[in-house]
Amino acid sequence: MKKLMITSALAGLLVGGNAIAQTTISGEIRVSLKASGSQATGGTTASGRGFGVEQQINFANKGKLNVGGLDYAAGFSLENDGVQATSLFNENNYIDITNAASGTTLSFSQDHIQRSDSDRSAAVMLGFTPNELASGGVGSSANLFDQTAGPGVGASQSVAVLQKLGNIGTFSYNYAPTLTDQSTTTTTTGAGSSETFSENNEKSAYEIGFTGSLGVAGLDVAAFKSKQKQKTGNLVQAEGEYLGLRYNMGQVTAGVARKVYNDDADTVANKSERTEKHYGLAYAVNKDFSVQILHATAENSLKTTSVVDQKTTGISIGYNLGPVALVAGVAQNEDIGGVRGQDSDVFYTRLIGAF
């Protein structure tokens, strides 16, 4: 009964007048069509096409704490990627506590704060990332482009401190006690709790980051460094670096980015370090129509499996239809997975509706 009384009191507090008045619900739906024609080493050809869908609903609440005049924000999202077999609740979960006077935020969150896998390079000023353009078709399972540069700290449940420095930018330190975004993770469930703890041999990880303009109008800089604690039995730690620079000059925007990262490995000889370089140029014809060209390369240090660099070159257009946006792109991929002659041509279009 005591537990029930406490729970009821908390429920009454959380659904009180101010909380309801400041709660917002938003969402997005994406419908995509992708078609690819591929050629593998030896002349084998293949083609494919199909629709993809994604839905997301966001719940957010903000207000003041009754201690120290601190601000708070809390929320979560329900996201379904296609027909998602795993959790629908592993994105944009957060409780943020902010001191507006100092510009300091303490964030208990997952998939929420600034991080390296939210690619800010020219590759996503408009349209699609190299990873999206290179996946699908012959050899795509060996695609060297990736969204996450090293340990996926931002995609794990974590605690972070963010510090705003006026018009310079925002520094962040993000710590995940159990990294849950690695291919070697075996997620287990803690007993006796509705929160479902993750208790396993997966080690902790951190990411230090900065995003901002450095006080220069039109400039957007992003820099991140991440590392995971060395696992038992593994000689190589997972780590990554990301550096992106974007500059807007009115109707023209140019950008470059560089990623260097590796997953953990059992031996030094099996360490696979990848380096990505992205270059993009976008032109806004008017407020509703834009076009972008993109070129990106990916190199794998293991030349025994990836003999040459993988390349993708594409052009995308974007059109604002008011409540709906249309993005379409074509790309040519060369030497997918670092295998000479393993190429593909891709057409990708996406309708995005927000509500």
- Domain of 143 in residue numbering reads as 33-354
Percentages helix, strand, coil for the chain, rounded to the nearest 5?
10, 50, 40
**166 belongs to a structural domain:** yes
pLDDT band at residue 165, thresholds of 50, 70 and 90?
Answer: very high
**27 belongs to a structural domain:** no
Q: Which of 201, 176, 48 is nearest to 107 (CA)?
A: 176
**7 belongs to a structural domain:** no
The predicted pLDDT at position 88 comes to 79
CA dihedral 244→248→249→250, nearest 10 degrees, is 160
Helix or strand run (H / E) with residue 93: strand 93-99
**21 belongs to a structural domain:** no
User: Rounded CA gap, 200 and 184, in Å?
Assistant: 11
- pLDDT at residue 143 tops 50: yes
Mean residue pLDDT of the chain comes to 82
Q: What are phi and psi of 191, to 5 degrees?
A: -95, 150
**88 belongs to a structural domain:** yes
Give residue-wise pLDDT tens across range 56-109.
999 999 999 999 889 999 999 998 887 777 777 778 999 999 999 999 999 999
The residue-averaged pLDDT of 325-348 equals 90
Contacts of 48 by beta carbon, 8 Å cutoff, 6+ apart: 35, 36, 136, 137
Q: What are phi and psi of 338, to 5 degrees?
A: 80, 15
Domain count for the chain: 1
- Quote the pTM value: 0.85
Q: How many residues does the chain have?
A: 355
Q: For residues 254 and 246, is the Cβ–Cβ distance under 8 A?
A: yes
**1 belongs to a structural domain:** no
Q: For residues 130 and 309, is the Cβ–Cβ distance under 8 A?
A: no
Domain harbouring 142, CATH code: 2.40.160.10
The residue-averaged pLDDT of 244-266 equals 90
**286 belongs to a structural domain:** yes
Residue 87: other Cβ atoms inside 10 A:
11
The predicted pLDDT at position 15 comes to 45
User: Rounded CA gap, 284 and 119, in Å?
Assistant: 20
Q: For residues 295 and 312, is the Cβ–Cβ distance under 8 A?
A: yes
- pLDDT at residue 47 tops 70: yes
User: Rounded CA gap, 212 and 169, in Å?
Assistant: 4
Give the angle 309-312-314 at the CA atoms, nearest 5°. Answer: 165
pLDDT band at residue 182, thresholds of 50, 70 and 90?
Answer: very low
Q: Which tokens hold the place of 69? A: 């005049």
User: Rounded CA gap, 318 and 113, in Å?
Assistant: 26
Contacts of 146 by beta carbon, 8 Å cutoff, 6+ apart: 131, 259, 261, 274, 276
DSSP, collapsed to helix, strand or coil, labels residue 221 as strand
Q: For residues 116 and 207, is the Cβ–Cβ distance under 8 A?
A: yes
**290 belongs to a structural domain:** yes
